[in-house]
Structure formats: structure tokens, C-alpha cells
Structure 1
Amino acid sequence: MKEGPDIALIGSLIGDPARANMLTALMGGRALTATELATHAGITLQTASSHLAKLEAGGLLTQRKQGRHRYYALSEDEVGLMLESIMGFAASRGLTRHQPGPKDPALRKARVCYNHLAGDYGVRMLDSLVAARQIEITGDDLALTDAGQIRIEALGIDYAALKKSRRPICRTCLDWSERRSHLAGSLGEALLTLFIDKGWAKREQNSRAIRFTDSGEKAFSELFPQ
């Protein structure tokens, strides 16, 4: 391709198995060290450093230094959205890298997608908000309605702060396991933070899976009925 965006460069960055594994590890939303990412990728630290430099140069990663360590994270929301979409496309074509294991049901039920809730619960939440006319869908765009604003403020979410952010308040993200959209954007992040802060849900150790407590299951069902 001689004109337009260079998708070949992005494809080559993501297409390497080691780099793909490191990017997937960062989909959990946590910043990780080069050593941690090397372990996820199954490569040496020296090789990982070379891969990380390429991903950073390509605009997919950002790093920050804290003490003696350097931490890497996805550079922005768009990177997470792109990766989730690619995962969904691969899943729809039956392109999986492993046999289903014990963690798969938990990941499919509820998981972190960079900074928001994904899986069955993520899709259910968006569907419920749309059904209640608190979010409107226009094509691929989402908009929070006046009723939706009242609803999230009643939950204790600062709508004014969301509005001041440069990020979209609501946006769709194609769910790789459900193959339908879940809620991303600053509202999606705020809702996941709310669930965790209230003790309704928590992250499983060394996993992207989100585990809801019994009281959290009840509260979620009441807030977002099917």
C-alpha cells in the first residue's frame, strides 16, 4: 500500500508471537516490568527489551520509571480496543492458541479489558443501559442520555469529571468471547472501579478474570437487569 495509514507496520508489531503475548498481558490494565513481560512471552529479558523498544517506537506502549524499575503499559485506550477487536475476529474464525482450560469460563463471564468490564457481564451491562434508555446507540457511537446521567450520579460517579476528560464517555468495544459490544470509555472504567471499590468484585490473582461476590452478583443483577 503506497498511500494512507501503514497497517503493515502495526500488523508486524502485533503479529510477532512474543510481542502478542506481551500486549495481551497488558490488557489486564496493569503496568508490568520488562522482566514480568519476558516471563509472559517466554523469552529472555534481553530479547524482551528489544521487542518492547519496537512496540514503544510504534506507539503501542508507554513506559514510566519508578525507582529502579521501568513499567510498561498500553499507550492509550485505542490500543486496548484494537487488541480486543482482533481477539474477537480471531475467535470468530476458530483461531485459538490453546485448548479451553479452567480459567476460560471465568474469563468469559467477567474480565478486565484494559480498564473496563468485558465478557458476558460487560455485554449485559451495556444491553441493560440501552434497554433502559440511559445509553443511546447511533451506528457505532454511544451517547449517555439525561436519564443515564442521573443514574450514574446516583451511583456516586462524578459525571462532570467524566465530561472534562479528553476520552469519550461512552464507546463500544467488540467483545472477543461474546462477539458483541460491551461498554468502554471513561464511563466503562468508572463503573468497573465502582464495582471493585464497593467490594462487589475483585480481580483474580495473575488473571484478567473478575470474580463477583455473592452480594456483588445480587447488586449487579439489580442494577442491570436482563
Structure 2
Amino acid sequence: MTATTEGRGMAELAALLADGTRAGMCLALLDGRAWTAGELARRAGIAPSTASEHLNRLVRGGLLVEERQGRHRYLRLAGPSVAQLIEGLAGHAPAPPTPTGSLRAATAGAAMAYARTCYDHLAGRLGVLMYDALLADGRLDRSNGLTLTPDGWDWAAGLGVPVTELRAARRPVVRDCLDWIERRPHLAGALGAALCRRFTEMGWTTRGASRAIRLTPTGRPALAAALHVPEHTLIPTPPDPPTGGRA
């Protein structure tokens, strides 16, 4: 294969995401769920027929997969590697503008910045804080590529994470993922996904609007203790006052 051929394939992939509508649909699907074509059309603010054309291109390009149940067509990202690609590209894009015009928009933006799902793992300021805390405690080590240390394995097992399944998984156990808002790494990989699920199972987190994740009243002190960080560091930052429009 020549360099020209390889470059052509990369250009074709880039063209799929060069359209704002298609890129926005992929970002919406970072919540890890399957969306119907109609839901994605409404999210993008376009006609269903137009959305269908965009979605067909993304499916043909291997970024999305589709499932049909009755008359409904569901679409989701093709896998963790695609989610990593989307989040990585978003992390290198210009920073998103501060929401303006209403208190609701400002509140939603602050919630997404604080904690959200990145496909199947925790992102946002809370995800970055967890990553940093695990490094500081020696549960993660990045001296020779990111690895989970023996203390890290014990810590995960103590939280009820199925470590035997993690060891057998084909997916990397730990991987850093550039956060597109914080512009710093958060924890991805099989452990990142398992922790995101486990926090929900234990009632420490709950899903908010869209991809936003909220710490519950019992979850905040419990997670602070698990991460060995002061509880006040887990308190969300209040949204900035709207700069225009009506609240």
C-alpha cells in the first residue's frame, strides 16, 4: 500500500466528520446509548430524510452501526475505538463557547463540564480529578505507558469491580483519553467503563440530562473517601451567569 493510498483513506474518514451535522451526531452518541434516526434528526434540527443521508454515510464509513427493531432504526458508535477518535478530535478542536442567553443553557453547560459520559466512561472535571487522584495514590502509573499497579487492582476489587473480567478483556485495562473540555486526560479503557457502571450500581452517580452525570448526596462523600481527596473538591462549580437573553 502506497502513502497516497493510505492518505486517501484518511481523507475519506476526515470527510465524514468535516460536516458539522455529522460531527454533532457522533458527539451526541458519545453518551453510549443507541439513538433512533428520528431522535438524531431532532437533535440536529434537520429533516428525517436529510438525517438519514448523513447517517447512511456514517454507517458506510464504519463510524456507526445500526440495529433495527420493528420499524425503528437505532444507531450507535461502532465501538470504543470510534468513541476515542471522536473525543480525541473534539479535544483538539477550539474550546466550546460559554453558553449564553439563558440560565438553563448555562446550567446544562456547567453540568456537562463537571461530569459526563464519554461513551462508557467518566469524563469532565470529575473524570480528570479521578485520574489525577489514582496517579497520586500510585494506583495508576505512567512511567512506561499507563498501567494499573498492584495497589490499583486491589483498590478496584475493593469497590466490587469484576477484576477477573478486566484481566480477560481484549480491551486495554486502562487508557488515558483527552478530555475535550478540560484538555487533560481522564480514565478510559475497560477499568474506566467498569468504574462508571459500578458507581451507578452503588448509587454514587446518576444520569442527568443528555450525557451529564451527577454525584448523589451519598456518592460525594463515598467517592471522596475512595479517592482520598477532600470532599469539597467534588462539589460542582456553579454556572456562570448568562451574558445575554432571558434567564
TM-score by length of 2: 0.84
**8 A Cα contact 2:99 2:109, kept in partner:** no
CA drift of 1:222 comes to 0.9
The unaligned stretches of length 5 or more in structure 2 are: 230-247
**8 A Cα contact 1:124 1:224, kept in partner:** no
CA drift of 1:138 comes to 3.8
In the alignment, what sits opposite 1:197? 201
- Are 1:40 and 2:47 counterparts? no
**Among candidates 16, 26, 32, match of residue 29 of structure 2:** 26
In the alignment, what sits opposite 1:163? 167
Distance 1:155 1:193 in 2: 11
**8 A Cα contact 2:204 2:215, kept in partner:** yes
CA drift of 1:129 comes to 1.0
**Among candidates 116, 140, 152, match of residue 111 of structure 1:** 116
In the alignment, what sits opposite 1:147? 151
**8 A Cα contact 2:138 2:152, kept in partner:** yes
In the alignment, what sits opposite 1:216? 219
In the alignment, what sits opposite 2:135? 130
- Are 1:9 and 2:39 counterparts? no
TM-score by length of 1: 0.92
Distance 1:181 1:170 in 2: 12
Moved beyond 3 Å, runs of 4+: 94-100
**8 A Cα contact 1:116 1:189, kept in partner:** yes
Q: 60-69 or 120-129, which moves further after superposition? A: 60-69
AA partner of residue 168 (structure 2): K
Structure 1 residues 145 and 15, CA gap change in structure 2 (3 angstroms):
same
Asked which structure has the greater CA Rg, the reply is: 2
In the alignment, what sits opposite 1:59? 62
CA drift of 1:66 comes to 2.3
- 1:133 match: secondary structure: coil
Structure 1 residues 86 and 127, CA gap change in structure 2 (3 angstroms):
same
Q: Percent identity at matched positions?
A: 42
CA drift of 1:98 comes to 5.8
**8 A Cα contact 1:90 1:96, kept in partner:** no
The unaligned stretches of length 5 or more in structure 1 are: none
**8 A Cα contact 1:112 1:208, kept in partner:** yes
CA drift of 1:115 comes to 0.6
